[in-house]
Structure 1
Amino acid sequence: MRYRLLSALIISAVAVVEAAPATATAEYDYIVVGSGPGGGPLAADLARAGYSTLLIEAGGDEGDNPTYAEIAWFNEAANDEATRWDFWVKHYDDPEEDRKFKHTTWDTGDGTFYVGLDPPEGAKYLGIQYPRAAVLGGCAMHNAAVCTLPADDDWNIIVNKTGDASWSASNMRKYLKKIERNQYLPPGDPNRGYDGWLATSVGPTDWARNSSNPATTILKKLAALTGQDETRAADLLGTDILTEIPNLDETSSLYNLAQHADSTGKRNSPNNYVRATLADPAKYPLTLKLHTLVTRVLFDESTVGVPGVTPRAIGVEIMQGQSLYKADPKHNGQTAPKSQILAAREVIISGGAFNSPQLLKLSGIGPRDELAKFNIPLVKHLPGVGENLGDNYEGSLLAMGQTPVNSGLITAVFRTPNAPDARRNIFTWCGAFSFEGFWPGFPTWHGAEQYTCALVHMQPKSQAGSVTLRSADPQDVPEINFRFFKNQGDQDLEELVAGANILREAINSVPEPVAPFVERHPCEGDRRESGDCGEEVQKEYFKSQAYSHHATSTCAIGGEDEEMAVLDSKFRVHGVRGLRVVDASAFPVVPGAFPSCPTMMISVKAAEDIVAERKAEEGAAARM
């Protein structure tokens, strides 16, 4: 398959006026690098607390663009060259294993991509596409806006690592309440928020009460297969996925999927909060600088390399201009002069699981040997920077009916019988759509008869991936290798197969005239009927065709005695002053099934921690 490599240059419309280029004398209390779920809310909260804050974003602002503003267009948003950064990643160390992925992508050299397993002669191998969004609001502007919470254990692991009880699951719940503007529950629930900046909404479930609807048959069968009362399937489908009940993480159930969108289908993200803060009559001291690439963190030279002195971050070096980063498909060799901006208090990196470790390394913080390879002066040896890369394993069961399946969305979170503990391990959503991963131009439309159950594997046991430098050039893109299934891979693959088997049985419960379904994958064609699609065949399918888009944990929080820990429980970089990382890279483990809302929650926590520290310092100074 061929796809356009580049369209006409698209210049983002900037919705807010940018400040004049900063010089080395310009100073803010805080500089936040990256405006996604980690950095955007943090910068707004710091400004609202009265501290002068500069928010730097490499992309532009598409908040008024319907492609981004309307959730229904999320596939188009993720494909849009106006904001897309293409990271071409590896899943394995073995190139032959990687090239089994059916949507492997190649540059044909004539302005198009080839996607598939049989590239034309002379095509340049790129890899597996992992699109990110360079735009105000980050990847929360091109995702499907799913809003879920991690398992309690995913929060509590930070308590166990650091001793900081503020990370307990019971305490973290308050940050959802703080940011949420719930638009689907009756007012008054003490555990939910109704006046925050992040709208949450759900879709209709009335279709599930139509017993003649083929999708209702699937719904009931899935309820029965996961230990629920199938006679109550329609009621269970209305269950709030953000609910708080005892033993939730061990309870398989159907759910109504929540999104960070309002009740009209308009996307809600950090973009909304940043823009509201800038437009507020209170004139909060927030400055937004768009189309600006941060090239490194600056340190007080008198604190670097001095025995007994802790290095201190004092600002950032930047380049200004559009499409400066080579992951941008519009990049065509352009560069720009470098300038410097100073921070009186702190620099906070929120570039995400790929760019945050890259920026730390370019700034001299990371594994000593890797930095030496590129002649980057060492500021602090932290071997965990860029390591521990993790993600959910994702896959799907795609089948073709004889006639279309008129269906609403079915969402379920359940435990497979072979899960290693009592927790739920599969998150699925089923409907008349196609989703098979990411490549230029995704997804494939298979016809009106298509029916998919996409599944996300939670608690992946292997976080063996890495983000490493290709060069010391800040415009270059790092090498990214997830090393799927490296540790306890058979167990994770067996759980994926068990999940697919449950979903297959649910789909095949539908009677004629929709049935019989013809499965496209993982059991292609007649393999299932012939008995040629057992566990090993399906394991091989998921091993070669699994995909992901929830990268986390490359600057992981951990205790001071942990060799691979990068951050303490307050997001401060170990062994450095005035520098924090606040984004999904901070999670020690992949947080549940979708990290967008959890990252927004830790952003608010970080702001709370920083403001509390500042107030304590100011109080101590006043008492002296």
Structure 2
Amino acid sequence: MAPILPLLSGLLSLAVFSHSAVAAPATEALNKPHDNNTYEYIVVGSGPGGGPIAANLAKAGHSVLLLEAGDDQTQNVNVSQWTNFLLSGNDPATRWDFFVKHSDDEARESRYIRTTWRKPDGGFYVGLDPPAGSKRLGIYYPRAGTLGGCAMHNGCLTMNPNDLDWDDIARITGDESWSAKNMRKYLVKLENAHYNSTSPHGHSGWLDTTMLDSGFSSNPDAKTMIELASQASGFQISEASDLQQRDMNGDQANRDSLVGPFGGVSHIKPDGRRSSPGYYVKETVDAGKYPLTLQLESLVTKVIFDKGDTPKAIGVEYLKGKSLYSADPRSNPNDKGTPGKAYASKEVIISGGAFNTPQILLLSGIGPKAQLKKFDIPVIVDNPDVGRNLADNYESSMLSLAARDVNGPGQIFPSFFKTTVGKIRDIYMWCGGFSFEGFWPGFPQDHGPKQYECAIVHMNPRSQAGSVTLQSANPRDVPNINLQFFKDGSEKDLQAIYEATSWVRSWLGKAPTTAGSIGPFTEMHPCEGVVGSQNCTVESQKTYIKEQAYSHHATSSCRIGEVLDSKFRVKGVKGLRVVDASSFPKVPGGFPVLPTMMLSEKATEDVLADAKKY
């Protein structure tokens, strides 16, 4: 395969092209010096889990040190303007480059079309025919190494999971505070909703949420497609206008069974600026009246324990310096960083995300005994589940080309779908004139102004066999990550994605085909040909889905139940919690960013309830 050009999708026609934008200098807002560098709480990581809890604890009057390995890119327009999110995902100032495996099947891995290689000259090659001497890196999985974490480079889609997702945690733990009914109060608490809804919402929280314009009233193509999807969902065409404004974060009765088009809620301000934990942290620090210390460019290397009868976390060790983690494309191995330590009189809270949190725990001596001994790491707690049970939603797409240019390429509408193998709605998708086929350096590929896609997210995947393991005892090295896609329950999961793709095809094939109309559509994958006239087997489509599925919603590598109790406390030690997406027993809904922020609000309550014990 020829090298894939790093072309940007039609979505970027809306964006401000700003690769040359220079971010504001990294800033550190430090409050009064603390004796012996001791704080009540240390929070590691400023993303959707760590950022909010650090700010919340400081607002409750507790001294907090927030350590972030990245710098401050909040003024970088690739970040601040949400329509630039694809640019942000490719921006070396914000990204951390992880490369993962999808399975142990090397033959299957070798057929992944977007496989990334390191060329002899140091650059990337994407494809299946690399230059001689290239080294296979694997499947690209970008993360954000910056203040605010992955909420600073995502597409801002903001969805409260199905109620069953929350109720399952309550059932697993026996802790009713995890019920969907109770968890909704954290959504209301954190949000500042700028849209109308029949459901009660918060309007004074730190996270701005806005319902995006689908183009239904102004764009004939958008109107046509939403009407077709509405009809295919069992509604009348006359109901499409109301359907595309439904609140996906509402508290409607029987919401887990509601299908068809919805309004797209996003964590952005009405003026198009991104809203995220990074800005919440900045605002809290800049207020100058809360005991929050933000220390950037500080890579935490391990947790420090007081090794009594039950070890207690009393601080962390870190390296101070720019771009020290090797996943940072700007990293230089010759920059060693400056070692430092900080201490917590109450608790250490790890919020590094599904990849870095288990790495920190393992480096600190919490994890499978055999793995720790392999790298001569003293064992604090032998817990075989640290870094195990890694889960991720499966993502695929039905990509096609219209008969003519698509009007309003950036106007997108989301929709829910229930397959025959799901007990509740198990597919979330968003459709519009764009191209998104996964991640690789320079993603996405622009297929021109005729491109039209429904990106498909399979919620509640049945396999949680993925793993995060140490590559070495060097905290600057990335861990080994194997997602083990489709290892368990593959028959039902592949059937679900196949049904979702077929459903899209069913209504796409009904688009008008008269002269000048948007139809007919020609499908590019997973079944090539004019929609309605293809001759692909079910098996060939499932094979394509299995081998080319992608993801970016990793969770559960330190999940509640095995590694944590229901209050986020790490089992076997004192004074240590994990508050991030790695905590979830399974992937929550279609997009973990909002549920992780909700989780952070809940964790704040749990931490404050225990504060008087210290």
- Shorter-chain TM-score bucket reads over 0.9
Q: 1:71 to 1:530 in 2, by over 3 A?
A: closer
Q: Among 224, 230, 240, which residue is 1:217 paired with?
A: 224
Partner of 1:529: 533
Partner of 2:297: 291
Q: Among 503, 520, 525, which residue is 2:524 paired with?
A: 520
- Say if 1:349 and 1:580, in contact at 8 Å, map to a contact too: yes
Partner of 1:67: 78
What is the correspondence of 1:266-285 to structure 2 with a 5 Å cutoff? 266-281=273-288, 283-285=289-291
> Which secondary structure state, in structure 2, belongs to the residue aligned with residue 344 of structure 1?
strand
- Cα RMSD (Å): 2.0
Q: Distance in 2 between the 1:2 and 1:414 partners? A: 32
Q: Distance in 2 between the 1:583 and 1:343 partners? A: 19
- Say if 1:2 and 1:112, in contact at 8 Å, map to a contact too: no
Q: Distance in 2 between the 1:229 and 1:552 partners? A: 38
Report whether the alignment pairs 1:544 with 2:553: no
> Which secondary structure state, in structure 2, belongs to the residue aligned with residue 359 of structure 1?
helix
Deviation per residue, 1:194-227 (Å, 9 max, x gap): 000100001124x4246x9233332222212222
Q: Distance in 1 between the 2:209 and 2:41 partners? A: 29
Amino acid at match of 1:78: G
Deviation per residue, 1:68-113 (Å, 9 max, x gap): 0000000000110012101100001112211211110001121321
Partner of 2:54: 43
> Which secondary structure state, in structure 1, belongs to the residue aligned with residue 563 of structure 2?
coil
Partner of 1:420: 422
Deviation per residue, 1:500-530 (Å, 9 max, x gap): 0011122221122322211111112469735
> Which secondary structure state, in structure 1, belongs to the residue aligned with residue 125 of structure 2?
strand
> Which secondary structure state, in structure 2, belongs to the residue aligned with residue 611 of structure 1?
helix
Q: Distance in 2 between the 1:193 and 1:123 partners? A: 52
Q: Distance in 1 between the 2:4 and 2:158 partners? A: 34
Q: Distance in 2 between the 1:14 and 1:318 partners? A: 22
Report whether the alignment pairs 1:194 with 2:210: no
Deviation per residue, 1:380-422 (Å, 9 max, x gap): 0111100010010001111111211225312101112x2232x
Report whether the alignment pairs 1:360 with 2:361: yes
What is the correspondence of 1:163-312 to structure 2 with a 5 Å cutoff? 163-185=174-196, 191-205=200-214, 207-209=215-217, 213-281=220-288, 283-301=289-307, 303=308, 309-312=309-312
Q: Distance in 1 between the 2:608 and 2:477 partners? A: 35
Q: Distance in 1 between the 2:39 and 2:141 partners? A: 34
Q: 1:252 to 1:299 in 2, by over 3 A?
A: same
Q: Distance in 2 between the 1:574 and 1:152 partners? A: 27
Q: Distance in 1 between the 2:77 and 2:21 partners? A: 15
Q: Among 558, 565, 573, which residue is 1:555 paired with?
A: 558
Q: Distance in 2 between the 1:150 and 1:232 partners? A: 24
Q: Return the offset for 1:2.
A: 5.9
- Say if 2:569 and 2:578, in contact at 8 Å, map to a contact too: yes
Q: Distance in 2 between the 1:204 and 1:158 partners? A: 34
- Say if 2:28 and 2:296, in contact at 8 Å, map to a contact too: no
Q: 1:527 to 1:229 in 2, by over 3 A?
A: closer
> Which secondary structure state, in structure 1, belongs to the residue aligned with residue 36 of structure 2?
coil
What is the correspondence of 1:82-481 to structure 2 with a 5 Å cutoff? 82-185=93-196, 191-205=200-214, 207-209=215-217, 213-281=220-288, 283-301=289-307, 303=308, 309-333=309-333, 334-407=335-408, 408-416=411-419, 418-421=420-423, 423-481=424-482
Q: Distance in 2 between the 1:459 and 1:45 partners? A: 30
Aligned residues: 594
Q: Distance in 2 between the 1:500 and 1:268 partners? A: 32
Report whether the alignment pairs 1:614 with 2:585: no
Q: Distance in 2 between the 1:138 and 1:156 partners? A: 27
Moved over 6 A (4+): 8-11, 20-24
Q: Distance in 2 between the 1:81 and 1:227 partners? A: 45
Partner of 2:64: 53
Deviation per residue, 1:109-154 (Å, 9 max, x gap): 2132110111111111000000000111000000001100111121
**Structure 1: runs of 5+ lacking an equivalent:** 304-308, 559-564, 619-624
- Say if 2:426 and 2:459, in contact at 8 Å, map to a contact too: yes
> Which secondary structure state, in structure 2, belongs to the residue aligned with residue 227 of structure 1?
coil
Q: Distance in 2 between the 1:14 and 1:39 partners? A: 22
- Say if 2:144 and 2:152, in contact at 8 Å, map to a contact too: yes
> Which secondary structure state, in structure 2, belongs to the residue aligned with residue 25 of structure 1?
helix
Q: Distance in 2 between the 1:404 and 1:490 partners? A: 37
- Say if 1:227 and 1:252, in contact at 8 Å, map to a contact too: no
**Structure 2: runs of 5+ lacking an equivalent:** 7-18
Q: Return the offset for 1:9.
A: 12
Q: 1:314 to 1:518 in 2, by over 3 A?
A: same
Amino acid at match of 2:306: D
- Say if 1:31 and 1:54, in contact at 8 Å, map to a contact too: yes
Amino acid at match of 2:324: L
Q: Return the offset for 1:231.
A: 2.2
Partner of 1:621: none
- Say if 2:262 and 2:415, in contact at 8 Å, map to a contact too: yes
> Which secondary structure state, in structure 2, belongs to the residue aligned with residue 462 of structure 1?
coil
- Say if 1:218 and 1:509, in contact at 8 Å, map to a contact too: no
Q: Distance in 2 between the 1:174 and 1:368 partners? A: 40
- Say if 1:10 and 1:82, in contact at 8 Å, map to a contact too: no
Q: Distance in 2 between the 1:203 and 1:178 partners? A: 21
- Say if 1:571 and 1:606, in contact at 8 Å, map to a contact too: yes
Amino acid at match of 1:256: G
Q: Distance in 1 between the 2:358 and 2:97 partners? A: 17
- Say if 2:260 and 2:416, in contact at 8 Å, map to a contact too: yes
Q: What TM-score comes out, normalization by structure 1 length? A: 0.92
Q: Distance in 1 between the 2:81 and 2:20 partners? A: 23
Q: Distance in 2 between the 1:190 and 1:460 partners? A: 29
Aligned-pair identity (%): 50
Please, which moves more after superposition, 285-294 or 516-525?
Answer: 516-525
Q: 1:10 to 1:410 in 2, by over 3 A?
A: closer
Q: 1:21 to 1:544 in 2, by over 3 A?
A: farther
Q: Distance in 2 between the 1:327 and 1:436 partners? A: 22
Q: Distance in 1 between the 2:366 and 2:227 partners? A: 53
- Say if 1:24 and 1:340, in contact at 8 Å, map to a contact too: no
Partner of 1:622: none
Q: Return the offset for 1:18.
A: 4.6
Q: Distance in 1 between the 2:494 and 2:182 partners? A: 33
- Say if 2:207 and 2:275, in contact at 8 Å, map to a contact too: yes
Q: Distance in 1 between the 2:477 and 2:549 partners? A: 27
